Amino acid sequence: MGDPGGERDRARTLDLLWGTRVPSGLGRKPGLGPEQIVSAGVAVADEGSLDSLSMRRVAERLGVGAMSLYRHVRDKAELLDLMVDRVLGEVRYDDGPEGVGPGGVGPGDGVPDDVGPDDDVPGDRAPGGDVPDGAGASGDTAPWRSRLDRVARANRALYERHPWLLSRPEGRPTLGPGVVAKYDAELRAVDGLGLGDVEMDLVLTLVLGYARDATASLVAWRSVPESTGQADDQWWAEHEPHMTRVLGDRYALAARVGTAATSQYGGVHDAERAWEFGLSRILDGIESFVRAGTGR
């Protein structure tokens, strides 16, 4: 049986997101509203984590009593829905040669200064290929692969700006304007390739899922030196002599590959290189799928 109260709560949240509910001004502090509360909530989470987010902390940041927030936002769960929609709405794509849709570029497009969508990662090949460029119905002229590459990097940048998004459990989205606008813009990356509508959704889901999971791994790996007080190369320098003694012929393959990898990485792992390699392989798979579907 459904939960009518839950449905009413979701309707209230959607009203807040889309501005279709006009709140009463009675008992409200001038200048305080959902926009200010959401901005404060994002700032609290950015500075700490989701664990540090509370209505009390948000109220302290705004210089008001905690109870005054409840006149605008029902509870922490609703505040989090509003925060997620706000930060997802930060993602923008220009409509130039490397764009995927309308709007300006959001803060930090996720492309490192020294790595671009057409750069080789060592041991890798540059994206591209002679699959159809697929200038979609939206009028985009960038090759589809460059557009999807940009989508992945923009989402990586989003998670790096707001790492608390990575600790939020996956679930049904709250369909606010930020969520819907982002989805619409990112679908343009694969519009006009001859894919069916469901295939377009699945391809985008694949790229977004990779961006989220791989960025979570990247962020976690970056935190290891600080949490352990030891750099990766220092850790490997301690372990290498022992591993050299015990591996021997029994684990010759592990010894050979591990030696080659750690020599290249300067440690046991290169998270940045793994991110780039994984994205290229995802795009390779999509390229094969597009080729098969279009008969080219």
pLDDT of residue 222: 86
pLDDT of residue 251: 87
CA angle, 269 then 245 then 262, to 5°: 15
Q: Which of 110, 117, 216, 106 is nearest to 169 (CA)?
A: 216
Residue 94's contacts (CB-CB under 8 Å, 6 or more residues apart) are: 103, 104, 105
Judging by beta carbons within 10 Å of its beta carbon (0-12, 13-18, 19+), is residue 114 exposed, middle or buried? exposed
Better-predicted residue by pLDDT, 141 or 266: 266
pLDDT band at 294 (very low <50, low <70, confident <90, very high): low
Say if residue 290's pLDDT is above 50.
Answer: yes
Helix H, strand E, coil C: the string for 187-244 is HCCCCCCCCCHHHHHHHHHHHHHHHHHHHHHHHHHHHHHHHHCCCHHHHHHHHHHHHH
pLDDT of residue 22: 56
Give the tokens for residue 244. Answer: 């050299």
DSSP string, 8-36: HHHHHHHHHHHT------TTPPTT-SHHH
Say if residue 117's pLDDT is above 50.
Answer: no
CA distance 231 to 227: 10
CA distance 118 to 146: 8
* Measured CA distances, 184 to 157, 177, 261 (Å): 19, 10, 40
**Looking at residues 165-188, what average pLDDT do you find?**
91
pLDDT band at 24 (very low <50, low <70, confident <90, very high): low
The pLDDT mean for the chain works out to 80
Report yes or no: 144 and 186 within 8 Å, Cβ to Cβ: no
**Most confident by average pLDDT, 63-77, 214-228, 232-246:** 63-77
pLDDT band at 258 (very low <50, low <70, confident <90, very high): confident
> Phi/psi of residue 81, each to 5°?
-60, -45
**Looking at residues 231-251, what average pLDDT do you find?**
81
DSSP H or E run through 48: none
Say if residue 97's pLDDT is above 80.
Answer: no
**DSSP-based three-state secondary structure for 286:** helix
- CB atoms near residue 64 (< 10 Å): 17
Give residue 185's Cα distance to chain centre. Answer: 15
DSSP H or E run through 166: helix 164-167
**DSSP-based three-state secondary structure for 43:** helix
pLDDT of residue 138: 41
Report yes or no: 176 and 92 within 8 Å, Cβ to Cβ: no
Say if residue 155's pLDDT is above 60.
Answer: yes
Say if residue 273's pLDDT is above 90.
Answer: yes
Sign, Cα dihedral of 75, 78, 84, 85 = negative
**Looking at residues 126-154, what average pLDDT do you find?**
62
27-85 pLDDT per residue, tens: 455 578 999 999 999 999 999 989 999 999 999 999 999 999 999 999 999 999 999 99
